[in-house]
Amino acid sequence: MSTEVKNAPALDAKRLVIRKMNKHYGTFHAVKDLDIEVEPGEFLVLLGPSGCGKSTALRMIAGLEEITSGEVIMGDRDVTHILPKYRDIAMVFQSYALYPHKTVAENIGFPLKVAGIPPEQREKSVHDAAAQVQMETLLERYPRELSGGQRQRVALARAIIRRPSAFLMDEPLSNLDAKLRGFMRAELKHMQHELGVTTIYVTHDQIEAMTLAHRVAIMRDGVLQQLGTPAEVYTNPANLFVAGFMGSPPMNFVEGGVNNDVLTFGDNKINLSAAPEGENVTLGFRPEDATVVKAGEGRFDAKVYTAEMTGDLTLVTMRLGKSMMTVKMPKDFMVDFDELVGIEFPSDLAYLFTTKDGARLSATVA
Amino acid sequence: MTSTTRRVENGQPGTGPAGHDHPLSRSARMNEWIDGHARQLFIMPAVIMILIFSIFPLVASLIIAFSRIRLKAGGYQVRFVGFQNFSKQIFGSEQFHFLGTFTTLSILGWVVGLAASGSIAWWMYRYVRQQFSIVGFIGRLITAFVGLALAWMFAATFFSGNQFGTLGVTLFYVFVGCGLQFLIGLGLAFLCSQPIRGRNAFRVMFFIPMMITPIGVGYIFRMLADTTKGPFAPVWQWVGLGDFTWATDPWAARIFIIVGDSWQWIPFIFIILLAAFENIPRDYVEAGEVDGASNWQIFKEISWPQVMPVAVTVMLIRVIEGFKIVDLPNIMTSGGPGIATESMSLHSLFAWRSLDLGQSAAIAYLLLFVTVVICVSFFNLVVVNRMRQS
Amino acid sequence: MTDIPKHYQPTFFQRLFEPPTIGKMAVGTKVVVYTLLLIWSAFVLFPIYWLFITSFKTAADVNGGPYYLPFIDFMPSLHAWHELFIIDYEDTLRAYFNSIVISLAATGLAVLIGSMAAYALARVKYQPNLVTILLFILTMIGVLVAIGSYGVDWWLVTAVAVAVFFFLMKAISSRYQILLHNGDILFWMISQRILAPIVVVVPIYMMFQSVRLLDTHIAIILTYTVVNLPIVIWLMYDFFSSIPKDLEESAQLDGATMIMTFREVVLPLSRAGLAATTLLVMILCWNEYLLALFLSTAKAQTMPILVAAMNAGERGILWWSMSVVIIVMIIPVVFLAMVLQRYISKGVLLGAVKG
């Protein structure tokens, strides 16, 4: 697993090692044997659909959830069984968890206050932290007087003020509207780069994961599916789930049986090489890799279901049997409802998986 | 929604079951009328009930308080006597009963009285210097006046070694009793909001006393406190108080009543404060834990500020109900020894029993006055202040 | 930015009172917490235990000194139960029946009338005229003085007063207007709770006397209803305000009247609030003593009066029978609490108290 951490880590940034971490709630196995090593100063994103155990994993790292088995090591210290307050971490919650009865300044200064640092010393730190998130003019406001983005900044300032060994962020941008989210995303990335603090970030939004992360860890049903740089997981997905989860619109899939290196679905046939004989196989290709061509000229034909102009391009959705597939076409592309068209894609950009367990196949499209 | 009125106009479609040209049937007309007057019909029953059974008696009581009522064959005769009933309580022959026994003030009495007067004067001075509005000033003037009167009442009775009257006893029940109940209720609620086993069992168990009729509580505690046949009789014997009776020690009797009252009312405070604790978003506490706060800091900095608005309102309710205390002293001690445990409600009840309706109403009105002044002051100075802050 | 200590060596004290991990309790904390809770449990339960065993004691058991354990210290006897439910069953059951009828009717009325008013206050804008209200109160004082001091028949005075009031209202109120708002009405209604029963009970007594309704169910039911209206209005106002308006507005677009909206949309949505309010009001009605004492003499006596009746004057207090009455009084409340409990979410009372 070669990792390239692009920003220089801060001097005191810590390596965070999660080893064989498990969580059971009664009979429910929420997190299964999670193994992740986060490099000092790395920005790691835990990605997955809701209920996949990513938040639970984060809360276990924070110490807010008991670890059923396994260990968490920060730097050279085993923190598996110590209280959150002794772990030297800062956490940004989805709800921000700003205390409504405290002003912005009091909220930001809270970690220092509980550490017993006298007010005069606190004041400067609070001001510096607030300045870092451009909130220094609003220090006397209460959280309810702030917009969503401003609250988000206060939460960040509260996290950075005591220079923790690690940041933990639980879907911090999910309460913002789309425009602000994009903006805050950029700021967050810049800030993490400047501070160089080891960061674990939980989200269900794959665009956030792609844009923010040095490495992405994709989870499903408590199991780590793939760990790699955003480019790796996008271009070289380890299995059907990862392939389907990354990308928007998602990868298109067709499913059929293999006979003599020929994949058959409906009336269509596609030639493969080195495919497992007699098994059901799923073929996937990305919307941006395919093109819509005249009927009969592509690898197979399908009927147009709808076409959507998004501004910079046109999304053409076609129906084939039960499955839908989407292709990105130039913005001036015209097509009619229910028109029969062909779909073409290059053979080296097609992915093959077993239908049964979604494992990636080494077979290729001929 | 300001009005749901739909007027029927003939010839318009869908005006009612009776159709276009025919006059509406009686029941349909009735429905239309009800519908048109729904705004009034919704609120009127409550208004009328309150007017008849609350405002009317209140006004009647006021008139009685200013009269002397004599029963005569087949009815009663009312004679207007002005403030006589009130002055009898405050300055006249009943003063010892209502306010307490006044002799000369002791040194402690002077100290307490002057200290209270000084702080009230300082409080008024600060208000006038800082901000000023006519309504606020008059309101504070009333509060200050009542505060001064009560302070000197206590200075002249309690702090000078004299017996105080039913007003003092009522205030003792309200402030000491409710204060104690609040502290214990808050503590229990905090304990039960911790991750303990059997939380629900404790919650149900602690709620039981609320379900028992107050007069039952009175008798139960009378049983328990019996120094010869009660369950703690051996303890009394052992301490050497075997021949002690509640009828001789005023303070023991008062505290005994507060214990009974607390047993009944702590559940109320407990159950609401527990809900308030459990209602604090988990994130707040967790954020505090991650940020390194100790348990005490989490309580002080996060939980308590969140619970405080609820606590203030619960206390307001409890104080309002506390002023009405009557069943417990009536049952447990009949107001004795002497008048040591007699609350104002009980005082008024006793006056009614001796058929002195004017006195009874006057005492009731004095109770109402004290309750309203204290509760409104509390509301305006504490609750409103807090609301302005948040 | 400030550095704060990053390493942690727990002291003995911290080991004792700080949880080893989150969600667990340290030994020291555990000991303190459970000790306190158990002490309080004992304080809560012991009086109830004593009440329970007393109901099985004979006069000799009670008077002979404290006996704690049935079968060991004393032989439990059912004589008190026998006396109340076999020999004197008429009195007992009548009081029981009275209590049930009165509590149910008063609670039902209070919840119905109170929630209607609360709903109206939460959704409709009212602007009563203060001048009209002052006129009304003046007329009322006139009526009372006429009845009290001059002995005029109450129905005659009332009729005249109503006429005078309407005349004055037309003449004066339309010219001078000091408008009040919903908040004022709400405050007025809720503030009625400040009235100690003793302030109003004498006039209420006289009122029911003059219409010959003393010692009837109706008198007690009406009084209890009014005494508890403020609570209902207060709790339900908060509850109705928290219901989103969309559902009601959509019902109105579908052509529902205000009454239909209230019955079909609002009430079903407010089940949790209604259940909590009903339970609270029921407990208060069921346990009320002072008003019942004034308003009933024999036929309409309720259970709390029966409890007090066990203080039998020269024969002393019949502790055993009294215990039985108190115990049978608790049972329906517990039963009702269990029935309503699943509707009551813990946040119901909280909303109203948050201010």
The interface predicted TM-score of the complex, written ipTM, equals 0.85
How many angstroms away from the CA of A92 is the closest CA of chain B?
A: 8
Most A-contacting residue of C22, C24, C29 (CB-CB within 10 A), to test interface: C22
Q: Taking residues B209-234, what's their average pLDDT?
A: 87
Which chain A residue's Cα is nearest to C8? A86
> Which pLDDT band holds residue C246 (cuts at 50, 70, 90)?
confident
> Which pLDDT band holds residue C351 (cuts at 50, 70, 90)?
low
pLDDT at C184 over 60: yes
How many angstroms away from the CA of B192 is the closest CA of chain C?
A: 8
Average pLDDT of every residue of chain B: 83
Neighbours of B124 (CB within 10 A): 16
Kindly list the residues from chain C whose CB atom is less than 8 angstroms away from the CB atom of residue A136.
none
pLDDT 10s digits, B271-326: 889 988 988 888 898 899 888 888 888 889 999 988 888 888 889 889 999 999 98
pLDDT 10s digits, C95-116: 999 999 999 999 999 999 999 9
Nearest CB partner across the interface for C8, out of A81, A86, A122 = A86
Residue with tokens 């002497």, as numbered in its chain: B338
pLDDT 10s digits, C271-300: 888 988 999 899 999 999 999 988 988 888
Kindly list the residues from chain A whose CB atom is less than 8 angstroms away from the CB atom of residue B296.
none
Kindly list the residues from chain A whose CB atom is less than 8 angstroms away from the CB atom of residue B302.
99
Residue B118 C-beta-side C-alpha neighbours within 13 Å: 6
pLDDT along chain A (366 residues), means of 10: 51 85 90 92 93 91 89 88 86 90 91 88 90 89 90 91 89 88 90 90 92 93 93 92 90 88 85 83 92 89 91 91 90 89 90 89 82
CA separation for the pair A131, A133 (Å, rounded): 5
Which chain B residue's Cα is nearest to A64? B286
Across the interface, do B294 and A85 touch by the CB < 8 Å criterion? yes
SS3 B323: coil
Whether the ω angle into residue A143 lies within 30 degrees of 0, i.e. cis, is: no
Mark out the alpha helices in B51-177 (DSSP H runs): 56-65, 84-90, 95-98, 107-130, 134-156, 166-172
A117 touches chain C (CB under 8 A): yes
Question: Token pair for residue A333?
Answer: 């592309």
Compute and round to an integer the Cα radius of gyration of chain C: 28
How many angstroms away from the CA of A123 is the closest CA of chain C?
A: 10
Q: Which of B128-132, C1-5, C128-132 has the highest mean pLDDT?
A: C128-132
Which candidate, B86, B290, C58, B108, places its Cα nearest to that of A92?
Answer: B290
Question: Token pair for residue A54?
Answer: 């990513």
Kindly list the residues from chain C whose CB atom is less than 8 angstroms away from the CB atom of residue B233.
65-66
Number of H helices, E strands in chain A: 8, 21
CA separation for the pair C184, C133 (Å, rounded): 12
Neighbours of B102 (CB within 10 A): 15
CA separation for the pair B190, C35 (Å, rounded): 14
Residues of C with CB under 8 A from a CB of A: 1-6, 8, 18-24
Kindly list the residues from chain A whose CB atom is less than 8 angstroms away from the CB atom of residue B288.
110, 114
Q: C: neighbours with 3+ CB pairs under 8 Å? A: A, B
Q: Taking residues C143-167, what's their average pLDDT?
A: 81
How many angstroms away from the CA of B180 is the closest CA of chain C?
A: 14
Q: B: neighbours with 3+ CB pairs under 8 Å? A: A, C
Query: What are A270's strand-pairing partners?
Result: A263
> Which pLDDT band holds residue B159 (cuts at 50, 70, 90)?
confident
pLDDT of residue A342: 92
pLDDT of residue B29: 83
Across the interface, do A83 and B289 touch by the CB < 8 Å criterion? yes
Q: Are A167 and A200 in contact (CB under 8 A)?
A: yes
A10 touches chain C (CB under 8 A): no
Q: Taking residues C142-153, what's their average pLDDT?
A: 76
How many angstroms away from the CA of A128 is the closest CA of chain C?
A: 7
Across the interface, do A165 and C6 touch by the CB < 8 Å criterion? yes
Average pLDDT of every residue of chain C: 84
- Cα C28 to Cα A82, C24, C32, C39, distances in angstroms: 17, 12, 6, 17
DSSP letter, residue A141: -
**Which one has a higher pLDDT value, C256 or C303?**
C303
pLDDT of residue B269: 92
Nearest CB partner across the interface for A162, out of C4, C22, C23 = C4
Say how many CB pairs under 8 Å bridge A and B.
68
Question: Token pair for residue C318?
Answer: 């019949």
Which chain A residue's Cα is nearest to C18? A83
Most A-contacting residue of C3, C4, C18 (CB-CB within 10 A), to test interface: C4
Q: Is the dihedral of CA C241, C247, C249, C252 positive or negative?
A: negative
pLDDT at B188 over 90: yes
pLDDT at C37 over 90: yes
Residue with tokens 């307050």, as numbered in its chain: A85
Q: Taking residues B79-89, what's their average pLDDT?
A: 82
Q: Taking residues B44-69, what's their average pLDDT?
A: 88
Which candidate, C179, C193, C277, places its Cα nearest to that of C235?
Answer: C277
CA separation for the pair C35, C32 (Å, rounded): 5
- Strand A364-365 relative to strand A268-273: parallel, antiparallel, unpaired? antiparallel
pLDDT of residue A229: 94
Which chain B residue's Cα is nearest to C24? B195
Neighbours of A92 (CB within 10 A): 25
pLDDT at C7 over 50: yes
> Which pLDDT band holds residue B9 (cuts at 50, 70, 90)?
very low
A127 touches chain C (CB under 8 A): no
Q: Which of A144-148, B104-108, C345-349 has the highest mean pLDDT?
A: A144-148
Whether the ω angle into residue A330 lies within 30 degrees of 0, i.e. cis, is: no
Kindly list the residues from chain B whose CB atom is less than 8 angstroms away from the CB atom of residue C144.
59-60, 63
Q: Are B342 and B166 in contact (CB under 8 A)?
A: yes
CA separation for the pair A34, A109 (Å, rounded): 34
Neighbours of C156 (CB within 10 A): 11
Across the interface, do C1 and A161 touch by the CB < 8 Å criterion? yes
How many angstroms away from the CA of A62 is the closest CA of chain B?
A: 7
- What are the two backbone dihedrals, phi and then psi, of residue A55, each rounded to the nearest 5 degrees? -70, -40
pLDDT at C348 over 50: yes
**Which one has a higher pLDDT value, B5 or B112?**
B112
Q: Taking residues B325-333, what's their average pLDDT?
A: 88
By residue count, chain B amounts to 390
Residue with tokens 């609070």, as numbered in its chain: A126
- Cα A351 to Cα A347, A348, A366, distances in angstroms: 9, 8, 12
pLDDT of residue B1: 39
- Strand A166-170 relative to strand A89-92: parallel, antiparallel, unpaired? parallel
Compute and round to an integer the Cα radius of gyration of chain B: 27
How many angstroms away from the CA of C187 is the closest CA of chain B?
A: 12
A99 touches chain C (CB under 8 A): no
